[in-house]
Amino acid sequence: MRWVTYLSPSGGAQRPGVVDDGCVFGYPGSESVPELLADSNDALADAYQRALTVPVEIIVEFETRLCAPLKPARPVALRTADARELTIVPGLVRGTDDGIALPAGADVLFADVGVAAVFGCRGRHAGYTLACLWHTVEGEPAGLTLGPAITTHDEFDGTEVTVSATVEDILVAEASLADQWSISGGSAGDVAAVLPGRTRLLERGEELFVDGGPLGEFELRIGSANA
Report DSSP letters for the chain, one per residue. -EEEEEE-TTTS-EEEEEEETTEEEE--SS--HHHHHTS-HHHHHHHHHHHHHS-S-EEEGGGS-B--S---SSPEEEE-TTS-EEEE-GGGEEETTS-BPPPTT--EEEEEEEEEEEE-GGG-EEEEEEEEEEE-TTS-EEEEEEEEEEEPTTT--SS-EEEEEEETTEEEEEEEESS---S---STTEEEEEEEEE---EETT-EEEEE-GGG-EEEEEBT-S--
Provide the pLDDT for residue 225: 80
Provide the pLDDT for residue 189: 43
* Fold of domain 76-221: Fumarylacetoacetate hydrolase; domain 2 (3.90.850)
Provide the pLDDT for residue 35: 87
CA 42 to mean position of chain CA atoms: 23
- Domain chopping of the chain, boundaries: 2-63, 76-221
Provide the pLDDT for residue 226: 61
Half-sphere exposure of 44 (CA within 13 A, CB side): 25
Provide the pLDDT for residue 50: 97
pLDDT in tens, 165-199: 999 999 999 999 875 544 554 443 489 999 999 99
Residues (pLDDT < 70) of the chain are: 121-122, 179-189, 226-227
Provide the pLDDT for residue 27: 97
